[in-house]
């Protein structure tokens, strides 16, 4: 086990052992534990009572958080013709089709999210093995394959985030930065929690939300009351 730094131990000392905090308390406290010399990302970790090995218990989707996440995403758009012009007007950082696919096949991944019009799947279908493991493959279920390419780009620029259960049924998702005002972090937090409750799989039995933890990227977790 890696040795904890003095900074981490001091931050952990701010958290009362065995206590579960309200969301408001947790937001204020997690900002105090974010003592790194940069504007740390604040992350929400939720353990769900699902078994992701079953398709009907997987939880996955994407939402636009009301206050963004404090990061400007580099958006790549696969589009041609009029749709390419729409993508450029919407603020896409890279726009193209076969030319971009060739760059990616050559090892280029200098972007944060990829969106595409449906007709471009013929071009990017063969990129699945490269983009999939990196979480960059456009997906209709996430709104990143759509005829409305301009809307998809605008949402990504506004702070759209993807949530997805890992193999243990946990969700890990950024909800902002330390520099955010408390109420904005709380609003983003509540939006994500409400969304997870709304998309609860019908096949999930028993307690659905098992634990909620808020943490700075380099700090300890703050447990929240369920």
pLDDT in tens, 37-90: 899 999 999 999 999 999 999 999 989 999 999 988 899 999 999 999 999 999
Is the pLDDT score of 10 beyond 90?
Answer: no
- pLDDT tier, 1 (very low <50, low <70, confident <90, very high otherwise): very low
Instruction: Please state at what angle helix 149-158 crosses helix 81-90, rounded to 10 degrees.
Output: 20
Please state, in angstroms and rounded to a whole number, the distance separating the CA atoms of residues 19 and 2: 25
Average pLDDT, the chain: 93
Q: Which residues pair with 96 in a beta bridge?
A: 78
Share of the chain above pLDDT 70, in %: 98
Please state, in angstroms and rounded to a whole number, the distance separating the CA atoms of residues 174 and 172: 7
Region for residue 187 given its phi and psi (left: phi exceeds 0; alpha: psi -120 to 50; beta: otherwise): alpha
- pLDDT tier, 19 (very low <50, low <70, confident <90, very high otherwise): very high
Q: What is the average per-residue pLDDT within 195-215? A: 95
Our CA dihedral for 212, 170, 152, 132, rounded to 10 degrees, sits at 160
Q: What is the pTM of this model?
A: 0.79
For residue 198, the SS3 value is: helix
């Amino acid at each position: 086990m890696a040795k904890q730094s003095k900074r981490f131990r001091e931050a952990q000392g701010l958290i009362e052992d065995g206590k579960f905090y309200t969301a408001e308390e947790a937001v204020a406290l997690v900002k105090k534990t974010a003592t790194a010399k940069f504007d740390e990302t604040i992350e929400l970790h939720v353990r769900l009572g699902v078994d992701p090995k079953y398709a009907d218990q997987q939880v996955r989707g994407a939402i636009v958080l009301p206050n963004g996440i404090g990061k400007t995403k580099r958006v790549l758009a696969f589009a041609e013709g009029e749709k390419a012009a729409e993508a450029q007007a919407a603020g896409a950082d890279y726009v193209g089709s076969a030319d971009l696919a060739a760059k990616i096949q050559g090892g280029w991944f200098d972007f944060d999210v990829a969106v595409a019009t449906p007709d471009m799947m013929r071009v990017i279908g063969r990129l699945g093995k490269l983009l999939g493991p990196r979480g960059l493959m456009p997906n209709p279920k996430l709104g990143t394959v759509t005829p409305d390419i301009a809307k998809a780009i605008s949402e990504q620029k506004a702070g759209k985030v993807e949530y997805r259960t890992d193999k243990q049924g946990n969700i890990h998702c950024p909800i902002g930065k330390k520099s955010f005002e408390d109420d904005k972090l709380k609003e983003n937090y509540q939006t994500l929690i409400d969304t997870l409750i709304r998309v609860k799989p019908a096949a999930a039995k028993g307690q659905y939300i098992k634990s909620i933890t808020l943490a700075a990227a380099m700090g300890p977790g703050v447990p929240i009351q369920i």
